[in-house]
């Protein structure tokens, strides 16, 4: 059942919501930029700090730390308050940026990236939870569109800035620039975001569950991200890591279903709207990372375009997402969450199906058109389902629900990279730079597009189980009073 709030959480004057949203967008920009800005500077960093073989960890350490801390931060924001958690996230991100900027070795750089990832893991779920707290159901789609637009802009601006800094100034400015941005974001939140005091006695922290969840998810994501690349899927490290991940995950599930105040209440997933929204988020992560990883490789390795044009092919998806997300509210208020998500999933199916028609001589505009269509469908699917899940619970557990949804997307991203990577590595030849090459590359990319298309069908099937409409939910709620 979906709770439709008629009022927003008290944060002071209603006019202060604008500055709060700006601070949330700035905080999100920090996370989004540092997910992409380092890509074009990684070779320069490796040449100065040495240890070129550790370059992949500049990305993996950030993604691992972010994904693992996301569900914990979401739940802790319910216990300690949103303001404390998002400020802690910005603070960790600031410390990590300073360490990266001053890094004297690759080890110090990776440690800084871990701190950045931990901060990002707090900023992402808490910023979206704050937006859900202070805006009504009618307004949430537009605010989610604003937050999604930050990712769209960062996907284009990030790699460009990274290249400019590393070539004309110093790669260290990639991280130094975060210092004033973190300071401004924190200052705006401190000044403008006045959170209502939490009611009742504070819940105890489930330390056992936190350790099991952190350990299990870290090993699972590590195994998925590094399997088939750093080590083979059938190798001893891969088997040991994934087996340990399964054992810890099972132990966490056993503990969480019996604990009075679990760090992550798995029983929430029994609620249809939350369970379905989380499953959709997982598959969305597979689609997004599958396309984000291999569309640029296809544009460069098969079509022969340069990195800039290949980036435009992917950026079309990131543009379509916020455009449709910002207008999704009009649809779900009229048609309901289920029908809106189904419309979006049909667009995803259409876009992913069109990728199957792409060949070794397709024009770049065709690639951009298909990814734009997928992004448009994602905006009408991912955003309404997240809002539906947030709206189905009260303030006390909204952070946990948001954190689980975002963590599911991170897990889906890792699954997408693992599955698609295994396919490409099995079909195409991998060159000395780690990029797939050779005449079989088009065949491998075509199989990746098939995986993405199947995921689109799964999203559509899951969307059928979303709540029908707002009015039905309100009537069911009234009937229980």
Over residues 365-411, the pLDDT tens digits come to 898 899 999 989 988 898 888 888 888 888 788 888 888 888 888 88
5 falls within a domain: no
Same domain, 270 and 257: no
pLDDT of 475: 37
pLDDT of 265: 80
Same domain, 109 and 75: yes
Same domain, 246 and 306: no
Cα(215)–Cα(212) distance, rounded to whole angstroms?
5
Average pLDDT over residues 209-234: 80
Query: Six-digit token pair at 175?
Result: 């991280």
Cα(354)–Cα(348) distance, rounded to whole angstroms?
10
Give the closest residue to 368 by CA, choosing from 427, 413, 320.
320
Same domain, 232 and 166: no
Q: Is the pLDDT of residue 147 over 90?
A: no
Cα(364)–Cα(184) distance, rounded to whole angstroms?
39
What is the tens place of the pLDDT at every residue in 307-362?
A: 667 777 777 887 888 888 877 877 887 888 889 899 999 999 999 999 899 888 88
Same domain, 338 and 248: no
Average pLDDT over residues 169-178: 84
393 falls within a domain: yes
Range of the domain at 51: 11-195
- Give phi and psi for 210, each to the nearest 5: -65, -45
Contact 77, 133 (CB under 8 A): no
Cα(157)–Cα(174) distance, rounded to whole angstroms?
12
Same domain, 278 and 375: yes
3 falls within a domain: no
Same domain, 189 and 223: no
Query: Six-digit token pair at 380?
Result: 């009408």
Q: In the listed set 243, 262, 281, which residue is the last one of a domain according to the structure?
A: 262
Average pLDDT, the chain: 80
118-132, 333-347, 436-450: least confidently modelled range = 436-450
Domain total of the chain: 3
What is the tens place of the pLDDT at every residue in 266-285?
A: 888 888 899 999 999 999 98
Same domain, 364 and 326: yes
Query: Six-digit token pair at 8?
Result: 């927003």
Per residue, what are the HEC states of the chain? CCCCCCCCCCCCCHHHHHHHHHHHHHHHHHHHHHHHCCHHHHHHHHHHHCCHHHCHHHHHHHHHHHHHHHHHHHHHHHHHCHHHHHHHHHHHHHHHHHHHHCCCCHHHHHHHHHHHHHHHHHHHHHHHHHHHHHCCHHHHHHHHHHHHHHHHHHHHHHHHHHHHHHHHCCCCHHHHCHHHHHHHHHHHHHHHCCCCCCCCCCCCCCHHHHHHHHHHHHHHHHHHHHECCCECCCCHHHHHHHHHHHHHHHHHHHHHCCCCCCCCCHHHHHCHHHHHHHHHHHHHHHHHHHHHHHHHHHHHHCCCCCHHHHHHHHHHHHHHHHHHHHHHHHHHHHHCHHHHHHHHHHHHHHHHHHHCCCCCCCCHHHHHHHHHHHHHHHHHHHHHHHHHHHHCCCHHHHHHHHHHHHHHHHHHHHHHHHHHHHHHHHHCEECCCCCEECCCHHHHHHHHHHHHHHHHHHHHHHHCCCCCCHHHHHHHHHHCC
Give the closest residue to 210 by CA, choosing from 269, 258, 252.
252
Maximum average pLDDT range among 85-89, 225-229, 412-416: 85-89
Q: In the listed set 195, 230, 246, which residue is the last one of a domain according to the structure?
A: 195
Q: Is the pLDDT of residue 201 over 70?
A: no
The share of the chain scoring above pLDDT 90, in percent, equals 15
Maximum average pLDDT range among 114-123, 198-207, 390-399: 114-123
- Give phi and psi for 283, each to the nearest 5: -70, -35
CA distances from 255 to 212, 220, 252, 262, 371 (A): 9, 18, 5, 8, 42
Q: Is the pLDDT of residue 5 over 60?
A: no
The share of the chain scoring above pLDDT 70, in percent, equals 85
pLDDT of 110: 86
356 falls within a domain: yes
Q: In the listed set 146, 176, 195, which residue is the last one of a domain according to the structure?
A: 195
Assign residue 377 the CATH number of its domain. Answer: 1.20.1250.20
**CA-only gyration radius of the chain, Å:** 22
1-5, 216-220, 274-278, 394-398: least confidently modelled range = 1-5
- Comparing 430 with 103, the larger pLDDT belongs to 103
pLDDT of 7: 43
pLDDT of 172: 85
Same domain, 312 and 216: no
Q: Given pLDDT bands bounded at 50, 70 and 90, which one contains residue 481? A: very low
Query: How many other C-beta atoms are found inside a 10 Å radius of the C-beta of residue 450?
Result: 15
Average pLDDT over residues 59-65: 79
Q: Given pLDDT bands bounded at 50, 70 and 90, which one contains residue 1? A: very low
4 falls within a domain: no
Same domain, 178 and 306: no
Contacts of 349 (CB under 8 A, 6+ apart): 377, 453, 456, 457, 459, 460
6 falls within a domain: no
Average pLDDT over residues 81-107: 90
Maximum average pLDDT range among 48-52, 248-252, 267-271: 248-252
pLDDT of 417: 77
Q: Given pLDDT bands bounded at 50, 70 and 90, which one contains residue 14? A: very low
Q: Is the pLDDT of residue 430 over 80?
A: no
pLDDT of 125: 87
Average pLDDT over residues 144-158: 75
- Give phi and psi for 227, each to the nearest 5: -65, 135
Contact 113, 100 (CB under 8 A): yes
Same domain, 411 and 336: yes
Contact 348, 463 (CB under 8 A): no
**Centroid of chain to Cα 220:** 17
pLDDT of 54: 67
Q: Given pLDDT bands bounded at 50, 70 and 90, which one contains residue 3? A: very low
Cα(462)–Cα(77) distance, rounded to whole angstroms?
29
Contact 229, 421 (CB under 8 A): yes
2 falls within a domain: no
């Amino acid at each position: 059942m979906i709770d439709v709030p008629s009022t927003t959480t008290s944060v002071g004057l209603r006019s202060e919501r604008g500055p709060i949203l700006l601070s949330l967008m700035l905080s999100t920009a920090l996370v989004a930029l540092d997910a992409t800005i380092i890509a074009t500077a990684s070779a320069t960093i490796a040449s100065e700090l040495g240890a070129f073989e550790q370059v992949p960890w500049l990305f993996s350490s950030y993604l691992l730390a972010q994904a693992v801390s996301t569900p914990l931060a979401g739940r802790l924001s319910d216990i300690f308050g949103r303001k404390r958690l998002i400020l802690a996230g910005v603070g960790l991100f600031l410390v990590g940026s300073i360490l990266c900027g001053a890094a004297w070795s690759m080890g110090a750089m990776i440690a800084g990236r871990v701190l950045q990832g931990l901060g990002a893991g707090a900023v992402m779920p808490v910023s979206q939870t704050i937006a859900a707290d202070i805006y009504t159901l009618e307004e949430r789609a537009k605010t989610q569109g604003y937050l999604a637009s930050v990712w769209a802009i960062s996907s284009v601006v990030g790699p460009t800035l990274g290249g400019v800094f590393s070539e004309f100034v110093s790669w260290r400015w990639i991280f130094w620039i975060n210092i004033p941005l973190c300071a401004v974001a924190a200052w705006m939140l401190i000044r403008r975001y006045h959170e209502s005091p939490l009611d009742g006695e504070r819940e105890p922290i489930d330390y056992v569950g936190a350790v099991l969840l952190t350990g299990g998810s870290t090993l699972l994501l590590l195994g998925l991200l590094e399997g088939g690349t750093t080590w083979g899927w059938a190798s001893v490290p891969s088997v040991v890591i994934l087996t340990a991940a399964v054992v810890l995950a099972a132990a966490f599930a056993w503990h969480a279903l019996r604990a009075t105040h679990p760090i992550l209440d798995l029983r929430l997933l029994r609620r249809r709207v939350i369970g379905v929204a989380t499953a959709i988020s997982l598959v969305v992560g597979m689609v997004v990372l599958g396309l984000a990883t291999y569309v640029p490789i296809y544009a460069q390795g098969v079509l022969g375009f340069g990195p800039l044009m290949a980036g435009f092919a992917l950026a079309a998806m990131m543009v379509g997402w916020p455009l449709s997300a910002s207008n999704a509210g009009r649809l779900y208020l009229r048609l309901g969450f289920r029908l809106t998500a189904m419309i979006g999933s049909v667009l995803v199916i259409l876009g992913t199906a069109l990728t199957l028609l792409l060949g070794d001589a397709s024009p770049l505009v065709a690639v951009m058109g298909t990814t734009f269509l997928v992004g448009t469908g994602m905006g009408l699917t991912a955003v309404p389902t997240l809002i539906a899940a947030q709206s189905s619970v009260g303030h006390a557990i909204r952070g946990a629900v948001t954190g689980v949804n975002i963590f599911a997307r991170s897990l889906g991203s890792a699954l997408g990279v693992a599955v698609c990577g295994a396919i490409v590595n099995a079909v195409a030849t991998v060159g000395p730079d780690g990029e797939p090459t050779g005449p079989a590359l088009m065949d491998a990319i075509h199989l990746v597009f098939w995986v993405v298309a199947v995921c689109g069908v799964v999203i559509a099937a899951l969307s059928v189980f979303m709540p029908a409409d707002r009015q039905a939910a309100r009537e069911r709620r009234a009937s229980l009073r």
